[in-house]
């Protein structure tokens, strides 16, 4: 992989990052707040690729005149020695002298040409990178060709709940009936506020469906601190008038009330509160499948 190939990989990587940052694709990888940094990284990579190509072309132009002038300078002695052979055709010793000096001049000229050729050859092969470096292209191809789905029920049921630390406090619920809450907000209030701010209110929340080994339904949102690599699920159990058939990873909007029922997550023993369902309907997956409101 030479410098030109490295610049091409940098340019394509930067272009792919810019494409992801300018569309909703970046939400599959990082939280929405990191979009400016992602765009800046793409611009820096593209600028680096352009600078690399410019530097390589400037270096090539600076080496070309020296290589062209070297043979002309070295051939000058051979031109000066040529007239010396003309005045003495009648003597027997002159040709011998010319025959002795001609090979020497020719060898000097050939040596100059060889040195220039060797220098150019060494310059072209001074940095020979291993071919394994081309494996760096594989993540780029994955970024361009594959759009990974958002983390779903498989990851959620094999990862412990993010409800591990009690939040600092809870604000009053907004007006409305039913009041719309994020799943993470409801789970935190139900687990650590003992439902004080939820009593007597009809609540509407949304999330994707996950089923445990016994078939018990849960509503889940994946909470991010930074990116999808550190995503953790926030789970609430569903009770009451749940739909008779639920498909894992299907998005569901439920309306209902707080219930004091809770259980423990078998993965990390975290708290899983429940929700009393009175109405349920399928909905489309949101633009941002992750929930950033939890930072506990």
Taking only the tens place, the pLDDT of each residue in 71-87 is 544 544 444 444 444 44
- Domains in the chain, CATH or no CATH each: 3-145 (no CATH), 153-291 (2.40.50.140)
DSSP category for residue 224: -
**What confidence tens digit (pLDDT) does each residue in 191-214 have?**
888 778 888 899 999 999 999 988
pLDDT tens track for 40-54:
988 898 888 888 888
Q: Are strands 203-211 and 251-264 parallel, antiparallel or unpaired?
A: antiparallel
State the residue for tokens 């907000």.
185
Confidence (pLDDT) at 165: 67
DSSP-derived secondary structure letter, 30: B
pLDDT of residue 255: 96
Q: Is the pLDDT of residue 138 over 90?
A: no
Enumerate residues 6+ apart whose C-beta is below 8 A from 182: 205, 221, 291, 293
Average pLDDT taken over every residue of the chain: 76
Task: Tell me the per-residue pLDDT of 5-26, one tens digit each, with 9 for 90 and over.
Answer: 778 888 888 888 887 788 877 7
Give residue 54's pLDDT. Answer: 86
Q: How many CB atoms lie within 10 A of CB 126?
A: 7
Tokens standing for residue 229: 């690599």
The pLDDT tens digits of the residues spanning 249-291 come to 999 999 999 999 999 999 998 999 999 999 999 999 888 888 6
Which carries the bigger pLDDT value, residue 102 or residue 2? 2
Least confident of 48-52, 135-139, 218-222: 135-139
How much is the pLDDT for 179? 93
Identify the pLDDT of residue 292. 52
Query: Which are the contacts of 117, defined by CB distance < 8 A and separation ≥ 6?
Result: none
Q: How far apart are CA 75 and CA 71, in angstroms?
A: 6
**180 near 204, Cβ under 8 Å?**
yes
130 pLDDT band, cuts 50/70/90, is: low
Q: Which residues, in sequence order, are bridge partners of residue 255? A: 204, 279
**Whether pLDDT at 227 is above 70:** yes
Helix (H) or strand (E) run with residue 145 in it: helix 137-145
Q: What DSSP string runs through 255-278?
A: EEEEEEEEEE-TTT--EEEEEEEE
Residue 231 near residue 151, CB atoms below 8 Å: yes
Instruction: Give the pLDDT of residue 56.
Output: 81
pLDDT at 99 over 80: no
Tell me which residue has tokens 């820096």: 44
pLDDT of 167 reads 66
Say what the pLDDT of residue 197 is. 85
* First CA to last CA distance, the chain: 46
Mean predicted confidence (pLDDT) in 237-247: 91
Q: 3-class SS at 185?
A: helix
Dist. CA 39–CA 20, nearest whole Å: 9
Q: Are 262 and 287 a contacting pair, CB within 8 Å?
A: no
In our burial notation (b when 16+ CB lie closer than 10 A, e otherwise), range 59-93 reads eeeeeeeeeeebeeebeeeeeeeeeeeeeeeeeee
The CB density around residue 287, as the number of other CB atoms within 10 Å, is 8
Q: Say if CB 220 and CB 235 are below 8 A apart.
A: yes
Angstrom CA distances, 8 to 37, 39, 163, stand at: 22, 19, 45
Quick one: pLDDT at residue 294? 46
């Amino acid at each position: 992989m030479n410098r030109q190939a490295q610049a091409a990989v940098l340019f394509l990587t930067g272009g792919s990052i810019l494409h992801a940052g300018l569309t909703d694709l970046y939400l599959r990888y990082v939280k929405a707040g990191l979009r400016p940094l992602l765009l800046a990284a793409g611009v820096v990579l593209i600028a680096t690729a352009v600078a690399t190509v410019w530097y390589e072309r400037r270096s090539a132009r600076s080496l070309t005149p020296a290589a062209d002038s070297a043979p002309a300078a070295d051939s000058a002695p051979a031109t000066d020695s040529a007239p010396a052979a003309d005045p003495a055709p009648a003597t027997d010793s002159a040709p011998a002298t010319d025959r002795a000096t001609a090979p020497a001049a020719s060898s000097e000229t050939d040596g100059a040409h060889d040195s220039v050729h060797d220098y150019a050859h060494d310059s072209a092969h001074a940095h020979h990178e291993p071919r394994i470096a081309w494996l760096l292209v594989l993540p780029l191809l994955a970024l361009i060709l594959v759009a990974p789905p958002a983390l779903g029920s498989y990851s959620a049921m094999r990862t412990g709940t993010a409800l591990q630390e009690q939040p600092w406090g809870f604000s009053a619920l907004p007006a409305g009936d039913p009041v719309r809450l994020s799943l993470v907000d409801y789970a935190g209030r139900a687990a650590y506020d003992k439902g004080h701010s939820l009593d007597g209110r009809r609540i509407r929340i949304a999330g994707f469906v996950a089923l445990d080994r016994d078939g018990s339904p849960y509503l889940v949102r994946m909470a991010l601190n930074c990116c999808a690599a550190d995503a953790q699920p926030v789970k609430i159990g569903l009770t009451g008038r749940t739909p008779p058939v639920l498909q894992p990873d299907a998005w569901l909007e439920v309306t209902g009330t707080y219930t004091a029922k809770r259980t423990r997550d078998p993965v990390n023993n975290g708290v899983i509160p429940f929700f009393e369902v009175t109405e349920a309907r399928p909905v489309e997956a949101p633009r941002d499948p992750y929930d950033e409101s939890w930072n506990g």
